[in-house]
Chains A and B, each alone.
Chain A
Amino acid sequence: MSSSAQTTVPADDPARVAEFEARIARGETIEPKDWMPERYRRQLVRMMSQHAHSEVVGMLPEGNWITRAPSLRRKTSLLAKVQDEAGHGLYIYCGTETLGVDRRELIQQLLDGTAKYSSIFNYPTLTWADIGCIGWFVDGAAIVNQTMLAKASYGPYARAMVRICKEENFHKRQGYEIMATLAAGTPEQRAMAQDAVNRWWWPSLMMFGPHDKDSPNSDELLKWGVKRKSNDELRQRFVNLTVAQAKAIDLVLPDPDLRYNEETENWEFGEIDWDEFWRVVKGHGPCNRERLAARRAAHADGEWVRAAAAAYAAKHNASAAEAA
């Protein structure tokens, strides 16, 4: 999730960098017009735009199930959730634009395939239980991550996260309710729920990114207060929270090495398949191509709406000019 070419960045004045880092150390918030190291700005653009893209692409695996939701209640919930994800994408694009980039450029990078987004959305949603699992695991993991980012040193990012966190709890609860309902249902429904857990558990753990020792951007992001906790700390917190939730609805997390450590009070877990992680990040997951194709088609299909709005604005402006 957080690998990028380490591009060379023009050197900043060391005195200003020291002053900047002192501000971070004092817990001050960095605002758009404040001086910041070029590298800080670039890291934020990279991270925030990836985050915004993830919200947008995240609509695709779920949108896939809106027409097939099993009841009107489930359908309206899912519609509202997908609408929220669109809103979340917009909050973060808006925050990213405060760093002096255009949303147009960012979206173009997504459509070109040069921008990254969360790999979790490159997995398919095969059954209805997958929608429950996405809410429970994927939104659950996102909450752990975003609660931390709500304290990020960059003001617009932190404020967008506060807004998102308020809405994300609904997403997780609706997902968990789907899973609890299926788990208490017929043997077929139970099996469907367990199958979804089996497929989504490990990719969800991968959402937190590589181990700290293998994460090229982590040190810098932690030093500058963009992140307040490391990938491994956040992953551990997610596991600790989720084990009890799985137990409560009698579903089994697919990890034979999962055990409680009395001393550390952590649920220890088995090794993640990092080969799979890197394969999907590099574009060879089950749905990478499909997701991008769907996104491109949606963008092209929306062209007439953009053209109509622009024509309306032009007409409006012309008649306003005439009246003046």
Chain B
Amino acid sequence: MAEIPRTNSQHSTSSDDSQWPLWEVFLQPPKGQPHEHAGSVHAATAEQALQNARDVYARRGEAVSIWVVPSRAITASTPEDMGPFFDPGNDKAYRHPQFYKVPHGVRVF
């Protein structure tokens, strides 16, 4: 998941240093796989973020597609959500195929 800094200070585009806004980088490896978080880059614009992401995370054909997303734009769950938010509802046995009976003699279903 996105690795968003705890204190997300955005020093906009001051030219005194390199601290441009932070962008999270997602790469799609070849062969139809989903985009996956790779890391982050600083960049002044979305276009520059894409170029930086390519230079930093895809120098050796690691990606066929790159997404860059302003870190600020990501809403993420928190570790405190671990319990109820992700409750798998294991008590709801009817969500699983094993709950249902198949007549004897049917081997491959």
Please measure, in the bound complex, the distance between the C-alpha atom of A91 and the C-alpha atom of B42, giving whole angstroms: 11
Contact present for B15 and A307 (CB under 8 Å): yes
Task: List, in ascending order, chain B residues with CB within 8 A of A95's CB.
Answer: 3, 39
A313→B39 contact, CB < 8 A: no
Interface segment, one of B4-12, B91-99, B101-109: B4-12
Q: Are B44 and A309 in contact (CB under 8 A)?
A: yes
B65 beta carbon closer than 8 Å to chain A:
no
**Minimum distance in angstroms from A20 CB to a CB of chain B:** 11
- Give Cα A156–Cα B22 distance, bound, in whole angstroms: 16
Contacts of A90 in B (CB 8 A): 41, 56
Cβ–Cβ < 8 Å partners of A31 in chain B: 1, 3, 79
Option from B18, B45, B78 in Cβ contact (under 8 Å) with A306: B18
Q: What residues of chain A lie closer than 8 Å to B17, measured between beta carbons? A: 104, 107-108, 306
Size category, B interface: 20 to 34
The answer to whether B13 touches A103 (Cβ under 8 A) is no
**B45 adjacent to A107 (CB under 8 Å):** no
Kindly identify, within residues 92 to 113 of chain A, every residue whose CB is under 8 Å from any CB belonging to chain B.
Answer: 94-95, 97-104, 107-108
B48 touches A104 (CB 8 A): no
Residues from chain B with a CB closer than 8 A to the CB of A107 are: 17-18
Contact of A32 among B3, B19, B41, B45 (CB under 8 A): B3
- Known contacts: A32-B3, A103-B19, A306-B18. The answer to whether A87 contacts B13 by CB under 8 A is no
Q: Is the CB of B15 within 8 A of A311?
A: yes
SS of A interface (majority): helix
Cβ contact within 8 Å between A33 and B59 = no
Interface positions, chain B 1-50, Cβ under 8 Å from A, are 1, 3-7, 9, 11, 13-15, 17-20, 22, 38-42, 44-45, 48
Inter-subunit contact B56/A313 (CB<8 Å): no
Q: How many A-B residue pairs have CB under 8 A?
A: 88
B20 touches A33 (CB 8 A): no
Taking A97-B40, A98-B4, A102-B9 as contacts, is the C-beta distance between A91 and B56 under 8 angstroms?
yes
Residues from chain B with Cβ under 8 Å of A103 in the complex = 18-19, 42
Between A84, A101, A103, the greatest number of chain B beta carbons within 10 A of the residue's beta carbon is seen for: A103
In the complex, what distance in Å separates the CA atom of A104 from the CA atom of B39? 17
User: Cβ of A316 and Cβ of B45 under 8 Å apart?
Assistant: yes
Select which of A32, A160, A310, A312 is within 8 A of B4 by beta carbon: A32
Report the separation of the CA atoms of residues A167 and B15 in the bound assembly, to the nearest whole angstrom. 32
The interface residues of chain B lying within 8 Å CB-to-CB of A309 are 20, 44-45, 48
Chain A residues in 8 Å Cβ range of B55: 87
- The residues of B that contact A290 with a CB separation of less than 8 Å are none
Residues on A facing B (Cβ under 8 Å): 31-35, 83-84, 87, 90-91, 94-95, 97-104, 107-108, 155-156, 159-160, 163, 167, 303, 306-307, 309-314, 316
16 contacts between A and B (CB under 8 A): A33-B6, A33-B76, A33-B78, A34-B79, A84-B59, A87-B59, A90-B41, A95-B39, A98-B4, A99-B5, A100-B7, A104-B11, A107-B17, A310-B14, A311-B15, A313-B44
